[in-house]
Structure 1
């Protein structure tokens, strides 16, 4: 019989855009809108954000096949969207995204310090992303220069598929040499981050303020009226909880208390 795990959290696996870098997850949205606009099809920010977190070619496919965008595509391009269109849009997306990433690679306030503190607790740091390997490579060095460098950084390219499949989390566990899975916490800012964690059998923490659910830079969010801030935060928290998050925090800077709460649940015999 497998012995019940009651030890501490051994690894935290963090998302990138909107969670550790690029407050508001702005880079993918701006480029997606630009790529579609070049074909004469305008997409809203809501349409660009709806499926954020999945591998970027899958993201483009979901946008293109959505009812509103596909109808606009037919009006402009004069044929139903095809897989060839998806691949063509993705081919246009990649160089623009690579060009944009360094501009939006600023580490979110509080991330480096919080990660440094949890590393001192003996917790290993991994990461997953919807970016390709080439895209992530554009972020790793600038992030490290700002004080954030995970022990492990896995992309969909490394495992054959992106979220919501759990393969990137499994690859992190292997490379970090961490087990059991219930000793791992996944932290991310989108519902598909949460789904990735749940499908992997790990704990999942949602990030409400800095990521895709609100979609604003730190400055733009700070400029909102307090009541508007509160309303947007409540909506973001509720969406992440509805996705199955075990805890929701506003930012990675707040993650230590959430990790502590999960450790209490582990000690009580609870499982993700």
Structure 2
């Protein structure tokens, strides 16, 4: 039985189309190719942690993170925010069948709310969480476990975790979730998601209900 599905947002339920990288380049226009590659390699992780790793200075990291959040917000305001096809229908279908839904993200609470508001999804999930609120971001299991605790679940094995990056997969595995599915609508390739240990690699979120029904 699946009692809860924890969904990543950008690249999993929300189309990314390069928005994270574009916001990063707006925030750090002088970024080196190595820094851009690091952003690609750490998709799904907490953004402030990524900036700390790159800049090695807390003040500079905080400044860059603020600029990134502002840049991403501007892109969303410009209309560059849309759901992954079928995501809304899958989520509402799960909830109609008694499965709880949580959204996790590597963004701040402000940016997460901005995205959900832009999509009209502010009431779509039973629980939402961010790295700052849960304790640590991916690849740590904290956000998944925060949803388990926040929703009062008895067993983490009744949880499915869905994301588009190896960090999402590692987070789900470390939490003890029974299903850890990687989707190919975002940053991760089939090989990368499988190598990270995904229990399932799906073309998109649309394929998730069939996996859960087969358990």
State whether TM-score is above 0.5.
Answer: yes
Q: Which residue of 1 aligns with 2:115?
A: 139
Say whether 1:114 aligns with 2:90: yes
Say whether 1:43 aligns with 2:33: yes
2:191, 2:213 → 1: CA distance? Answer: 21
Residue 12 of structure 1 contacts residue 186 of structure 1 at CA under 8 Å; is this kept in 2? yes
Residue 107 of structure 1 contacts residue 148 of structure 1 at CA under 8 Å; is this kept in 2? no
Say whether 1:157 aligns with 2:150: no
- Is the partner of 1:17 in helix, strand or coil? coil
Q: Which residue of 2 aligns with 1:255?
A: 208
1:59, 1:14 → 2: CA distance? Answer: 21
2:119, 2:128 → 1: CA distance? Answer: 12
1:104, 1:170 → 2: CA distance? Answer: 31
Name structure 2 gaps, 5 residues minimum: none
Picking from 10, 19, 31, the partner of 1:27 is: 19
Q: Which residue of 2 aligns with 1:99?
A: 74
Name structure 1 gaps, 5 residues minimum: 1-7, 66-80, 214-235, 264-272
Say whether 1:14 aligns with 2:7: yes
1:141, 1:84 → 2: CA distance? Answer: 30
Question: 95-104 vs 154-163, which deviates more?
Answer: 95-104
1:142, 1:94 → 2: CA distance? Answer: 15
Residue 112 of structure 1 contacts residue 148 of structure 1 at CA under 8 Å; is this kept in 2? no
- Is the partner of 1:112 in helix, strand or coil? helix
Question: 53-62 vs 188-197, which deviates more?
Answer: 53-62
Give the structure with the higher percent strand.
2
The 1:93/1:82 distance shift into structure 2, 3 A limit, reads same
1:113, 1:42 → 2: CA distance? Answer: 40
Picking from 105, 118, 122, the partner of 1:129 is: 105
Q: Which residue of 2 aligns with 1:78?
A: none
Deviation at 1:23, TM superposition (A): 4.0
Say whether 1:52 aligns with 2:43: yes
2:106, 2:16 → 1: CA distance? Answer: 16
